[in-house]
Amino acid sequence: MRILSSMLVPALALALTGCGAKSHEEGPVTDAWMRLSPIEGNPAAGYFTIKGGEEDNRLLSVTSPKVASIELHDMSIKDGMMEMKRIDDGVMIPAHGTVSFSPAGMHAMMFGVASEVKPGRKILLTFQFAKGEPANVEALVRGAGEDDGSHGMMH
Ligand SMILES: [Cu+2]
């Protein structure tokens, strides 16, 4: 029995290490990018995908050292017009679900983007959740003309 247990321990330790390393690479937030406004000084918009964990969670805020203030916004159609609304109580991330922030939908509105944030660079975004650790993600910066063009006017 003593021999068996001594063989099991290293195998278990290895499995745990492998799992931990993977979860660091693949956090809850993926595919993060942002689009600069065509007008310098106007807000940019950030997009990303959030995967739910074992239990329901809530995205509370997004921050960046390169952006003065970030609000979560939703887009809806009212009287045939696209309308942006600020989300004040966070965004529900259902357990095992996927929530996408994308052009024409929810997005992170970025006010006061630092002037060194240029297309092709990456900026750090920190996602704060109701439960669990904050997630740090690098978002690719895209220029105003690099998107699909459908909602460039809004930002
Ligand atoms: Cu917005």
pLDDT per position as a tens digit, 27-79: 899 999 999 999 988 999 999 999 999 999 999 999 999 999 999 999 988 88
List the structure tokens of 129.
Answer: 């959740």
Q: Please provide the size of the chain in residues.
A: 155
The band of 138, judged by pLDDT with boundaries at 50, 70 and 90, is very high
Q: What pLDDT score was predicted for residue 122?
A: 97
pLDDT above 90: percentage of residues in the chain: 66
Question: What is the CB neighbour count within 10 angstroms for residue 19?
Answer: 9
Ion ligand 1: residue ranges with CB closer than 5 A: 73, 84, 109
Q: Do 71 and 108 contact (CB within 8 A), yes or no?
A: yes
Q: What pLDDT score was predicted for residue 20?
A: 44
Instruction: Calculate how far, in angstroms, residue 141's C-alpha sits from the geometric centre of ligand 1.
Output: 17
| Total-model pTM | 0.77
Instruction: Calculate how far, in angstroms, residue 69's C-alpha sits from the geometric centre of ligand 1.
Output: 12
- Mention the CATH class of domain 27-143: mainly beta
Q: Tell me what the pLDDT averaged over the chain comes to.
A: 85
Residue at token pair 């739910």: 52
Q: What pLDDT score was predicted for residue 4?
A: 52
The mean pLDDT value for 79-90 works out to 92
Core vs surface per residue 54-71: b (16+ CB within 10 A) or e: eeebebeebebebbeebb
| pLDDT above 70 for 5 | no
Instruction: Calculate how far, in angstroms, residue 150's C-alpha sits from the geometric centre of ligand 1.
Output: 14
* Identity of residue 137: V
* Identity of residue 134: P
